[in-house]
Structure 1
Amino acid sequence: MKPNKLLTIATLLWLCVQSIGAQNQLVTYPSPEGAELKNDFTVKVRQPGKEWQTIDTYAVKVDEVRGASHHVELASMGYFDFAGEVEISVLSNKGDIQTGRVRPLSYEITPQINGNILTFKLDRPRNLSIEVNGDIFHNLHLFANPIDPNNPLKPGMNPKKLKKDRNLIYFGPGIHQLPGDTLNVPSGKTVYVAGGAVVRGCIRAFNVRDAKILGRGIVHPQERGEGIHIGNSRNISVEGLITTQCPTGGSDSVTIRNVKAISSYGWGDGMNVFASNNVLFDGVFCRNSDDCTTVYATRKGYTGGCRNITMQNSTLWADVAHPIFIGLHGNVEYPDTIENLNYLNIDILDHREMQVDYQGCLAINAGDNNLIRNVRFENIRIENFRQGQLVNLRIFFNKKYCKAPGRGIENILFKDITYTGKNAELSLIAGYDQERKVKNIRFENLRINGTVISDDMPGKPGWYKTGDMARFSIGEHVEGVTFTK
């Protein structure tokens, strides 16, 4: 064989080995000294046939409401990065596992259980809740991330070299206390919080352009409050981090990807949008002690309406209030419009709210003279939540939070929505008066416990409203509600 042909074969073999290596990777991050850990579980991960690696589990606070009282409970949280396939072992240090589940249930991950060990495989990144013996308040939040393409520290690189990059603010593994509990990110800069890092305080992008807040670590104030906050800024990216809350106000062109927000205190909303345009949430996980995600108009010093807001490929868990909430706040004197919103491919794991005024997994409540129009809910899977409603569309005057009722709710599409459960209360659709109506509401392939709700569904008496078959109350000042297959 000619030498050049041998060289070509050797090059191809090398490229194949490199490709296989790139497709099968596993990166774990030891916790920093001084971090608060939890030992309910011993978690390990490995590539098939290789050595097990231990995943440290942090203590995370979640909110359990018992009656009308709030109780902070300590759950567990761990994370790692991978490409290819991994095997995961979760050992319950509290004793045998009678039942175990991995959620979202739509992922169809059926764990194997042997005594006090639960095992399963992953072939793609997932943000998961692992629940043993039905306990959702001492569960394991396991965030299996993709390999991080943004990590500035390359294999073999001396971390000191990163200090020479004037456009990079780097937090390596360890615990970091921000001076004054706040870091204000300058325009054009990238903040990177490495895996194994805990930043105590709030990272803010205020009045800046072209800034990034990236990484795999944790950003958490010492007490309550936002870990990441975007205000009056443009072209901002946030990716990969674990935090408490991540609001966006008065901003344009914001992308929040694979960010996890867990809160346990009052008014602990996950990912608010105030008076902003062109905001994308992709692959986020929210478990919050108030609304998981909201879109409001004028609010908290930010003025104007909202346009072009999308949340997709995400998981929402509301220990209190709404998973998705739109429209409450605005400007009564100079009315705002909230329009062109999309909620696509979302799993809702829980919704628990006793107050009827604040129920609804998919809720649009128009107040403060807001007009809300052109909203799309599509491919949303709602699991058996504890208490609340599936849908709440209302124009109302909530005097606790509003100065006037909303102007209208128009052109809302619910497509491929599924609910599997038994705890849904009566959903509400209601306008306010002849000038303030709910109009043009379409349900396409709404499935409740496997039954498609449609205007021509079998078994529906001719004198029933179709909403009756879904336990939806369709009230006055509502026009154009349709249910189709």
Structure 2
Amino acid sequence: MITERSTIPWFFNYCLGLLLLFLLPEPGRCTVRTYPAPTSEFPASPFYKVTVTQGEEKETAFVYISHARTEGPGTQFVQERTLSYTGFMATGVVTVEVERLADERLLPGAPKVRPSRWGIEPEISGERRVRFVLPRAGQYTLEFGETGYRHGLVIAYDPWETSAPDPTDAGVFSVPPDLRGDPSSELGQAHTLYFGKGMYDLGGRLELPPQIKRVYLAPGAFVYGAIYIGHSDVTVDGRGVLSSARLAHREAHTLETPPAARRVVIEGITVADYAQFAVRTLGRDNVVRWVKCVGGWIYNADGLVGWAGTTLSHNFIHADDDAIKLYDDHVTVEDCVIWQMTNGACLQLGWQSLSARQVRVRNIDVIRTEWRNNGGANNSVINLRLASGGENGKTQRDFIFENIYVETPVDRFLDLRFRDKKKGREDGGAHRLLDFTFRNIHVRMTSPNEHSGNLLLPYNAAYGYENIRFEDLYINGLKITKDNYREAGYFKMPDEVKLAISFE
């Protein structure tokens, strides 16, 4: 039997990190850079102090805090919750030390670093300190005890930044630190917006002027507002924070592009406290990578969506609606970490019948789900909501999901029903799923109950499933086969669906 931990060569990864440490740049060059506070008065997390060490370098990282929203749908389930977050750039192996500050809301308990499959074991150092080694860039969380996630900590180990613009260069507009509103009238011939260390307020949603091809948020930049990118070939990058905390529910998506905007790159920044989607790119051939989405506290706080040809990689998504939407052709999602709140799916195939093909999803860690065990129609790791449809459905084909790890027990891994998802309500519609592969999947599931199971239900004889393959599917540590898929795999489906499904 293969266990979660044994599937990951953690010792190899540790040794690889040590090798990289010896391949660092020439002596004297900084190889760890933490991110500073925007201003000396900017509120820090009351829960944590974080330092990062490599060799003789030891840097303190500023720790931000996101507070749960208090008004709007779903906020009744997250009252008084927080999520602290911090980050740094480095190369090679680093040691992180976290001190729990004296706050009665942060209860003592055993420390846990996620994703747990990497085998990172915190070492307790004194009454309030833990330290642990991170061998590579990635996104990690730390919590103490069974309820520690209620005031958890996100730690982003970012790759080293190599192409930050010079704010003094011609064509770069350095936004004044005391900005309150839209800077468009002051741009002149600038093609780049540069937000340096400091606090800014866009006064709502900024419609990016067509002349701007790059928006850079430096480490320590904290920008309130949202950005709408209406033209192609734009990059939004850096290591700063774009926060929609001052926007009303559904006032704007924090980062959005229309279908006409193509080849948009969003990289490295933190998107916080979103009032609707965190990142909604509706054009083709976009890239979203190394983005941290923190503060999805309210219904409609979806994570990422990218249309045809888009790549979503190395992102962290904390969402209270669908974390990632898989709605179009040739979409690639890889190396992402998902923290799902009380609403939404981790990987959503659609709220209506959509046509899509050649979608690839790999190396996904679902580190926590907080669904409320009430049978929510979109509450599963992989979901097809299909809230409305008709008699003439579309087809999704050639989807591959591989190396998916679900850490906390869920009622449903799959809910791919085409009808009867809401009791007492007519919904669903015609649809087809063809040539779907689920490979190397490790899921923890709850004991069977009225809401649980891996669910498939066709619309009728013409609209259903074909060639659905499960290769190395493990549920609660047990490999699922054609002989145990109902009892151990919790599959619930009509007998006619069995002909379309195989287990290897």
TM score, norm. by length of structure 2: 0.80
Task: Give yes or no for the alignment of 1:132 onto 2:150.
Answer: no
- Residue 358 of structure 1 corresponds to 378
- Residue 6 of structure 1 corresponds to none
Report the number of matched residues.
Answer: 440
Shift of residue 249 of structure 1? 4.8
Listed one character per residue, the Cα deviations across residues 235-285 of structure 1 (whole Å, up to 9, x for unaligned) are 110000111343435411100001111211121111134xx3111100010
1:17, 1:161 → 2: CA distance?
A: 35
Q: Which runs of 5+ in 2 are unaligned?
A: 1-21, 175-188
Shift of residue 17 of structure 1? 9.8
Aligned partner letter, 2:288 = I
With over 3 angstroms needed to count, the CA separation of the structure-2 counterparts of 1:200 and 1:104, relative to structure 1, is: same
Task: Give yes or no for the alignment of 1:341 onto 2:340.
Answer: no
* 1:110-125 alignment runs, 5 A limit: 110-114=121-125, 115-125=127-137
With over 3 angstroms needed to count, the CA separation of the structure-2 counterparts of 1:395 and 1:59, relative to structure 1, is: same
Higher strand content, 1 or 2: 1
* Contact 2:380–2:412 (Cα < 8 Å) also in 1: yes
* Contact 2:473–2:479 (Cα < 8 Å) also in 1: yes
- Residue 56 of structure 2 corresponds to 49
- Residue 413 of structure 2 corresponds to 390
1:190 alignment partner, one of 214, 218, 223:
214
With over 3 angstroms needed to count, the CA separation of the structure-2 counterparts of 1:433 and 1:146, relative to structure 1, is: same
2:24, 2:47 → 1: CA distance?
A: 38
- Residue 12 of structure 1 corresponds to none
2:242 alignment partner, one of 214, 219, 232:
219
Task: Report the 3-state secondary structure (helix = DSSP H, G, I; strand = E; otherwise coil) of the residue aligned with 1:136.
Answer: helix
Listed one character per residue, the Cα deviations across residues 341-364 of structure 1 (whole Å, up to 9, x for unaligned) are 111011011223333422211123
* Contact 1:309–1:340 (Cα < 8 Å) also in 2: yes
Task: Report the 3-state secondary structure (helix = DSSP H, G, I; strand = E; otherwise coil) of the residue aligned with 2:487.
Answer: helix
- Residue 300 of structure 1 corresponds to none
* 1:53-452 alignment runs, 5 A limit: 53-62=59-68, 69-94=77-102, 97-114=108-125, 115-134=127-146, 135-153=148-166, 162-163=172-173, 166-186=190-210, 189-206=213-230, 208-221=231-244, 222-223=246-247, 224=249, 225-232=252-259, 233-243=261-271, 244=274, 245-262=277-294, 263-273=296-306, 276-296=307-327, 306-320=328-342, 321-329=344-352, 336-353=354-371, 354-366=374-386, 367-368=388-389, 369-385=393-409, 387-396=410-419, 405-420=429-444, 422=446, 425-452=452-479
Aligned partner letter, 1:53 = E
Task: Report the 3-state secondary structure (helix = DSSP H, G, I; strand = E; otherwise coil) of the residue aligned with 2:121.
Answer: coil
Task: Report the 3-state secondary structure (helix = DSSP H, G, I; strand = E; otherwise coil) of the residue aligned with 1:264.
Answer: coil
1:482, 1:168 → 2: CA distance?
A: 52
1:138, 1:17 → 2: CA distance?
A: 37
* Contact 1:397–1:405 (Cα < 8 Å) also in 2: no
* Contact 1:188–1:210 (Cα < 8 Å) also in 2: no
Shift of residue 316 of structure 1? 0.8
1:150, 1:329 → 2: CA distance?
A: 41
Aligned partner letter, 1:316 = I
2:489, 2:23 → 1: CA distance?
A: 55
Q: Which runs of 5+ in 1 are unaligned?
A: 1-15, 297-305, 331-335, 461-465
Shift of residue 24 of structure 1? 6.5
Task: Give yes or no for the alignment of 1:472 onto 2:479.
Answer: no
* More off after superposition, 404-413 vs 58-67: 58-67
Aligned partner letter, 1:142 = I
Shift of residue 63 of structure 1? 7.7
* More off after superposition, 259-268 vs 394-403: 394-403
* More off after superposition, 52-61 vs 180-189: 180-189
Aligned partner letter, 1:257 = R
* Contact 2:69–2:75 (Cα < 8 Å) also in 1: no
1:66, 1:99 → 2: CA distance?
A: 29
Listed one character per residue, the Cα deviations across residues 205-257 of structure 1 (whole Å, up to 9, x for unaligned) are 12x11111111111112124422112221111000011134343541110000
With over 3 angstroms needed to count, the CA separation of the structure-2 counterparts of 1:426 and 1:404, relative to structure 1, is: closer
Aligned partner letter, 1:412 = F
* More off after superposition, 26-35 vs 188-197: 26-35
Aligned partner letter, 1:241 = I
Shift of residue 289 of structure 1? 1.3
Shift of residue 131 of structure 1? 0.5
* Contact 1:338–1:373 (Cα < 8 Å) also in 2: yes
CA RMSD of aligned residues (A): 3.0
Aligned partner letter, 1:106 = R
* Contact 1:185–1:211 (Cα < 8 Å) also in 2: no
TM score, norm. by length of structure 1: 0.83
Task: Report the 3-state secondary structure (helix = DSSP H, G, I; strand = E; otherwise coil) of the residue aligned with 1:169.
Answer: strand
* Contact 1:378–1:416 (Cα < 8 Å) also in 2: yes
With over 3 angstroms needed to count, the CA separation of the structure-2 counterparts of 1:395 and 1:160, relative to structure 1, is: same
2:220, 2:457 → 1: CA distance?
A: 49
* Contact 1:280–1:310 (Cα < 8 Å) also in 2: yes
With over 3 angstroms needed to count, the CA separation of the structure-2 counterparts of 1:92 and 1:323, relative to structure 1, is: same
- Residue 463 of structure 1 corresponds to none
Listed one character per residue, the Cα deviations across residues 11-56 of structure 1 (whole Å, up to 9, x for unaligned) are xxxxx99834499611122111253321201111121233x32111
With over 3 angstroms needed to count, the CA separation of the structure-2 counterparts of 1:478 and 1:192, relative to structure 1, is: same
User: How much identity, in percent, do the aligned residues show?
Assistant: 21
Shift of residue 160 of structure 1? 8.7
